[in-house]
Amino acid sequence: RHTDSVESVAFSPDGRHIVSGSEDNTIQFWNAQTGVQVGNPLQGHTGPVWSVSFSPDGRHIVSGSEDNTIRLWDAQTGGQMGNPLQGHTNPVWSVAFSPDGRHIVSGSLDKTIQLWDAQTGSLMGNPLQGHTDSVWSVSFSPDGRHIVSGSSDKTIRLWDAQTGDQVGKPLQGHTGSVFSVAFSTDGRHIVSGSEDETIRLWDAQTGGQVGNPLQGHTDRVFSVAFSPDGRYIVSGSGDDTILLWDAQTGDQVGNPLQGHTGPIQSVAFSPDGRHIVSCSDDHTVRLWYAQMDGWVGNAPKEKIASSFSSTLLSTHSPYLAAHVLHNAQSLFTDMSKDLIHFQNDGWIVGPNRQLLLWVPPSYNKFLYTSQTHLVIPRGHPEIDLSNMAHGPAWHKCYTPVLKDN
């Protein structure tokens, strides 16, 4: 577990693992299916880790730190590869691999962008200079030909990855620092998130702004990302929420994803687009179903039960997703798959034998079958409980079963 703010998260290319970097100076590796930490923390940085990213083949991890260095790690063993990459004179805010995995780009408080040979760790050419303030975010285009950067100078800039030359004029429109930039998967658009609380879309070819700013957050937007199919955008903010957007219309999709208790520093889609990972100043990394088209991910085949007080909803899945209904707080814990059991006396019990819900035994088979599909719609569905027996007098309809037949 991280012991300080978590600043960056990324999925592995196969979607099976998550890597996170924290102000506790460590990098942690997680199983995306179970939420369990994999191996020991990756240690070596002497300052907060601001950015982490997987190589396209998933074999390596690159990290950027407050200690002014970039480090490469073996994703399988957790071992550091070679010496730290040194060249920046201030903290490294952002790092990313090129699509072919041969190069690394980094952005720094020193106002520069550097290109590195991922194999040798050597600098490639001179720093890319043009920003007049800290460079918060850098990313390669999908074809690897261009680099996009966002800065505290309120601009977004495009660069030729081969020559290091700036391409066109700065993209202007934000009224605050640009904390996050990313290309769409087809390379035609750029999305940006800013201190001005807005998200903006840009035409990567012309540099023109596409549509109106996406507004909905009430604090700084620290992180933005496109879904793999390019249809959606996810954003994380200092208002502790995650929002989903339709990239075509700019409309907000579904309700805010709430559960973090501190500013959200980084968000990312899984490679299949079904999940979102986020990290926060609350020291946690959280995994969410991506709410698209009114659904919470794809309807999983799993058990569902409510606590007797109707404040806790628990689902049977590879990881436990427990939603506290009165404040919609999402929690993830490493627990067994066998979370919920149906007893012959009608009680549904949890992993610690706590009583979750009781139904008449004769109706048990109608409550759940192995082929049941759980569908949770967007919004606020209502359930008619007018004919349901509830309250402390549950024993009036209790049917004891002393022995299995």
Which residue among 277, 296, 315 closes a domain? 296
For residues 286 and 311, membership in a common domain is answered with no
For residues 315 and 292, membership in a common domain is answered with no
Residue 1 lies in a domain: no
Give the full edge-to-edge strand order of the sheet including 135-140: 135-140, 146-151, 155-160, 166-172
Please give the pLDDT value at position 394.
53
Q: Three-state DSSP class for 133?
A: coil
Please give the pLDDT value at position 349.
74
Q: What is the pLDDT of residues 41-81, one digit of tens each?
A: 999 999 999 999 999 999 999 999 999 999 999 999 999 99
Residue 403 lies in a domain: no
Residue 402 lies in a domain: no
Q: What is the pLDDT of residues 389-403, one digit of tens each?
A: 555 555 555 555 444
The span from the CA of 394 to the CA of 400, in Å, is 12
Classify the C-alpha dihedral 71-27-291-245 as positive or negative: negative
For residues 279 and 350, membership in a common domain is answered with no
The whole domain housing 254 covers 6-296
Supply the DSSP string of 222-266, one letter for each residue. Answer: EEEEE-TTSSEEEEEETTS-EEEEETTT--EEEEEE---SS-EEE
The span from the CA of 166 to the CA of 58, in Å, is 30
Continuous segment of H or E residues that includes residue 365: helix 364-367
Q: What is the pLDDT of residues 99-147, one digit of tens each?
A: 999 999 999 999 999 999 999 999 999 999 999 999 999 999 999 999 9
Which residue among 268, 296, 324 closes a domain? 296
For residues 99 and 166, membership in a common domain is answered with yes
For residues 284 and 317, membership in a common domain is answered with no
For residues 39 and 176, membership in a common domain is answered with yes
Please give the pLDDT value at position 252.
95
- 391: Cβ contacts below 8 Å, ≥ 6 apart: none
When pLDDT is averaged across residues 79-91 and rounded to a whole number, the result is 97
For residues 268 and 337, membership in a common domain is answered with no
For residues 336 and 371, membership in a common domain is answered with yes
Please give the pLDDT value at position 298.
32
For residues 283 and 250, membership in a common domain is answered with yes
Q: Please count the structural domains in the chain.
A: 2
Both structure tokens of 365: 């088979």
Closest-CA residue to 20 (of 223, 158, 221)? 223
Please give the pLDDT value at position 266.
98
Adjacent-strand bridge partners of 210: 201
Give the number of residues written for the chain: 405
State the CATH number of the domain containing residue 117.
2.130.10.10
The span from the CA of 329 to the CA of 343, in Å, is 28
Percent of the chain with pLDDT over 90: 69
For residues 314 and 286, membership in a common domain is answered with no
For residues 114 and 240, membership in a common domain is answered with yes
The span from the CA of 390 to the CA of 405, in Å, is 28
Adjacent-strand bridge partners of 146: 160
Q: What is the pLDDT of residues 305-328, one digit of tens each?
A: 444 444 444 444 433 333 333 333
